[in-house]
């Protein structure tokens, strides 16, 4: 059977820092079956048209995590992205290196910052030397305990999440979704003895810079759902240490604020979340907004049934993290 | 059609213009808004960072109020939409459901899980329909280049919110085109506005907002429009900070979704609360012949 092919146009990012003044896009046009993975197309381009094209890949089976790149602006694995849907939607395929990591050449990026953030969370079990494992047996876990981190071991460290993350893009203090998802895995591991210390440290090491935009969860080829694990970490960090940072203070203040009346009181929230110095610093902006939006200073009416809201708090607000409940 | 109206906190306070515009548009397209003074805050993605189960329980109470009235719920905020929909999803977990039920039962509240949560954007594009809206346009936004800005919680996580592609959404652009405007496609339209960390690190939050506005501008947008009042705060009320963060003048009017619709359907800028914006919309509305 002769397979139908499609006319596929690739615009591929080319750049060699130090040699090229600016990046350029080289166009390659090939006839390929629509199910062809982007990676196979790029390897064909390199083998048959332009041997100078640089890219990183290895297993071609979505296991090694080497071939993540931007395909029509989305960070994904080239080995598992067929060209058909991309062409059907955009008419061409724009191939670019991952974002948020410096380009070494063409599609190859410098992953050092990504790995440094990973190393910083100490991605290994920290055991208590005073309680060594019993001779001759391993450190057992129950299936329910293992279940708590069933998603994170699927991570193949492809850095698609790191590339998609707007917090990483805007602030080097944010460790990135993958490092935090990995941290979660050790925090909920019952064999790890550094849980408290890990949760305390991460509060000042960028945890609260997560925007919970879920772009990482969307980009992840292995459904690790980093944004949801980061939310879990935030709740566990508050339960472990209370509100020590602007982020945790804001989350707690928000919760307390709703308890009062039901709706949010914007002005009160600002007072609860910020210290006096910050509040004073925010004053000119507040006045600017208040002049157009005078409701800012008005307390909202209590809702009907605010006693119900209060009783729900009484039943469920026991200062334990939802993650740790039996 | 008749819907339980969940305006959310911001539209009842500093973002009141969103509520004004929603009521105007609802009347114009034939949506009956039923108000419930008993709705509490959705948690806004902040409360669940402090206590997720509590947040789900409060939203189960909100959803139960609409269920009891036999109505689906209308939201006008991407974040409310996300939080209330996710409450429905998480209640599918037996452990969560039993804790939530345990807190609600003594209050005589039962939530059976039947309330559908719909954002105004969905209702306009799917239930009312673009043809019907197109037929009501009296002041076409001819050629006005508008960049839609969706807001994260309307789109993601797509497998749980499940109504439109998170990577390639098009409902807002389709709506803009039906109103006569020229939709502008840019990467930032599905990105974050920076709002969630305005209290954590304002400079970073403002840089993120600035990136998205610059991106819209680079693609030719004369205005942006958003279905989320929190994005609106970040993009409009804090635009001066975004300018400082990216070191460039932005001067980008940002409209709420129902304001764009109302403008095309003949509402005056006052009826839509446009004078309440921090970035002036006067030049923009003059372009389509809407004057105060």
Q: Check pLDDT > 80 for residue B43.
A: yes
A310 interfaces chain B, CB cutoff of 8 Å: no
> What is the reported pLDDT for A314?
93
Please determine, for residue A261, whether its predicted confidence score (pLDDT) is greater than 90: no
Interface touch A171/B201, C-beta < 8 Å: yes
Quick check: B192 and A262 CB within 8 A?
Answer: no
Q: Which residues of A touch B187 (CB under 8 A)?
A: 73
Q: Judged by CB atoms within 8 Å, which residues 117-146 of B form the interface with A?
A: none
B254 interfacial to chain A (CB closer than 8 Å): no
Confidence of residue A322 (pLDDT cuts 50, 70, 90): low
Average pLDDT, integer, range A247-270: 83
A66: closest CA of chain B, how far (Å) = 22
- Assign 3-class secondary structure to B239-278: HHHHHHHHCCCCCCCEEEHHHHHHHHCCCCCCCCCHHHCC
CA distance A321 to chain B (A): 6
- Distance from first CA to last CA of chain A, Å, rounded? 58
Residue pair A311/A277 in contact by the 8 Å Cβ criterion = no
- How many whole angstroms separate alpha carbon A185 and alpha carbon A159? 17
For A138, other C-beta atoms within 10 Å of its C-beta total 8
What are B124-166's pLDDT values in tens digits? 999 999 999 999 999 999 989 999 999 999 999 999 997 888 8
DSSP A259: H
Separation in Å, CA of B205 to nearest CA in chain A:
8
Q: How much is the pLDDT for B278? A: 97
Q: Do B106 and A298 touch (CB under 8 A)?
A: no
Q: Label residue A319 by pLDDT band (50, 70, 90).
A: low
Q: Is B37 on the interface with A (CB under 8 A)?
A: yes
pLDDT score of A37: 98
* pLDDT at site A326: 40
Asked if A308 has any chain B CB less than 8 Å from its own CB, the reply is yes
Mean pLDDT of A139-144: 87
**Contact between A214 and B152 using a beta-carbon 8 Å cutoff:** yes
Cβ–Cβ of B12/A300 closer than 8 Å? yes
The structural domains of chain A, ordered by start, are: 6-109 (3.10.20.30), 112-133+140-241 (1.10.1060.10), 258-324 (no CATH)
Residue B189 has a CB neighbour count (10 Å cut-off) of 23
pLDDT tens sequence across A221-254: 999 999 999 999 999 999 998 888 889 999 998 8
Checking if the pLDDT of B241 tops 60, the result is yes
Looking at domain B137-287, its CATH class is: alpha beta
Minimum CA–CA partner of B170 in chain A: A89
Q: Rounded mean pLDDT of A148-158?
A: 94
Domain ranges of chain B: 2-118, 137-287
* CATH code of domain B2-118: 1.20.1050.140
The answer to whether residue B89 neighbours chain A at the CB level (below 8 Å) is no
In this structure, of A268-272, A287-291, B5-9, the range with the lowest mean pLDDT score is: A268-272
Is residue A101 within 8 Å of A68, Cβ to Cβ?
A: no
What value does the mean pLDDT take over residues A50-55?
98
- Whole-number percent of chain A with pLDDT over 90: 73
How many Cβ pairs within 8 Å bridge chains A and B? Answer: 198
Q: Which two tokens stand for residue A279?
A: 């509040």
* Range list of β-strands (E), A62-176: 68-71, 74-77, 93-96, 103-105, 108-109
Q: Is it the case that residue A270 has pLDDT exceeding 80? A: no
Answer whether A170 sits within 8 Å of B207, measured CB to CB: yes
Q: Which ipTM score applies to this complex?
A: 0.95
Q: Residue B236's closest CA among B197, B265, B209, B272?
A: B209
Q: Is B97 left (phi over 0), alpha (psi -120 to 50) or beta?
A: alpha
Query: pLDDT band at B289, cuts 50/70/90?
Result: confident
Q: Are B233 and B13 in contact (CB under 8 A)?
A: no
Q: What does the alpha-carbon distance between residue A185 and residue A155 come to, in Å, rounded to a whole number?
A: 11
User: Which phi and psi angles does B54 have, rounded to 5°?
Assistant: -60, -45
Looking at residue A139, its pLDDT comes to 80
Say which range, A205-214, B159-168, B247-256, has the weakest mean pLDDT.
B159-168
Contacts of A312 in chain B (CB under 8 A): 54, 57-58, 61, 103-104, 107
SS3 A13: strand
H/E element holding A14?
A: strand A6-14
| pLDDT of B114 strictly over 60 | yes
pLDDT score for A90: 87
């Amino acid at each position: 059977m002769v397979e139908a092919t499609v006319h596929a146009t690739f615009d591929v990012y080319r750049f060699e820092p130090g040699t090229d003044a600016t990046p350029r896009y080289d166009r390659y046009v090939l006839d390929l079956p629509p199910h062809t993975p982007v990676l196979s197309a790029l390897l064909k381009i390199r083998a048959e048209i332009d041997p100078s094209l640089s890219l990183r890949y290895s297993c071609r089976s979505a296991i090694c995590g080497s071939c993540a790149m931007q395909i029509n602006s989305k960070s994904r694995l080239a080995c598992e992205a067929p060209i058909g849907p991309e062409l059907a939607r955009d008419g061409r395929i724009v191939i670019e290196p991952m974002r948020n990591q410096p380009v070494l050449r063409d599609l190859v990026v410098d992953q050092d910052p990504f790995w440094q953030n990973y190393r910083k969370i100490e991605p290994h079990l920290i055991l208590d030397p005073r309680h060594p494992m019993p001779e001759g047996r391993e450190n057992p876990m129950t299936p329910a305990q293992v279940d708590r981190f069933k998603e994170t071991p699927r991570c193949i460290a492809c850095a698609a999440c790191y590339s998609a993350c707007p917090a990483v893009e805007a602030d080097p203090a944010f460790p990135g979704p993958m490092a935090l998802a990995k941290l979660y895995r050790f925090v909920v591991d019952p064999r790890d003895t550094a849980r408290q210390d890990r949760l305390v440290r991460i509060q000042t090491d960028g945890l609260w810079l997560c925007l919970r935009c879920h772009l990482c969860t969307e980009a992840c080829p292995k459904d690790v759902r980093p944004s949801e694990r980061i939310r879990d970490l935030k709740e566990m960090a508050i339960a472990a240490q209370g509100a020590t940072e602007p982020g945790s203070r804001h989350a707690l203040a928000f919760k307390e604020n709703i308890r009062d009346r039901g709706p949010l009181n914007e002005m009160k929230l600002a007072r609860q979340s910020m210290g006096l110095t910050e509040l004073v610093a925010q004053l000119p902006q507040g006045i600017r907004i208040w002049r157009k939006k005078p409701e800012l200073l008005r307390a909202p009416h209590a809702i009907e049934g605010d006693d119900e809201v209060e009783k729900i708090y009484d039943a469920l607000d026991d200062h334990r993290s939802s993650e740790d409940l039996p | 059609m008749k819907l339980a109206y969940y305006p959310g906190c911001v539209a009842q306070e500093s973002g009141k213009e969103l509520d004004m515009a929603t009521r105007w548009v609802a009347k114009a397209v034939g949506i009956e808004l039923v108000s419930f003074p008993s709705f509490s805050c959705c948690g806004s993605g902040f409360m669940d960072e402090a206590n997720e189960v509590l947040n789900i329980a409060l939203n189960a109470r909100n959803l139960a109020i609409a269920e009891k009235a036999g109505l689906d719920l209308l939201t006008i905020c991407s974040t409310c939409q996300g939080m209330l929909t996710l409450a429905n999803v998480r209640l599918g977990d037996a452990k969560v459901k039993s804790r939530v039920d345990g807190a609600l039962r003594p209050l005589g509240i039962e939530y059976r899980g039947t309330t559908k949560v719909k954002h105004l954007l969905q209702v306009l594009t799917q239930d009312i329909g673009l043809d019907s809206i197109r037929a009501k346009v009296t002041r076409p936004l001819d050629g006005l280049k508008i960049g839609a800005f969706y807001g994260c919680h309307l789109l993601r996580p797509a497998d749980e919110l499940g109504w439109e592609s998170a990577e390639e959404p098009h409902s807002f652009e389709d709506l803009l085109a039906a109103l006569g405007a020229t939709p502008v496609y840019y990467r930032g339209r599905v990105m974050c506005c920076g709002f969630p960390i305005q209290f954590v690190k304002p400079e970073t939050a403002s840089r993120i907002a600035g990136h998205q506005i610059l991106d819209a501008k680079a693609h030719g947008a004369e205005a942006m429009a958003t279905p989320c009042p929190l994005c609106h705060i970040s993009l409009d009320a804090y635009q001066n900070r975004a300018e400082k963060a990216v070191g460039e003048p932005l001067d980008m009017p940002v409209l709420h979704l129902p304001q764009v619709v109302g403008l095309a359907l003949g509402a005056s800028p006052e009826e839509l609360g446009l004078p309440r914006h921090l970035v002036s919309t006067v030049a923009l509305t003059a372009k389509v012949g809407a004057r105060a």
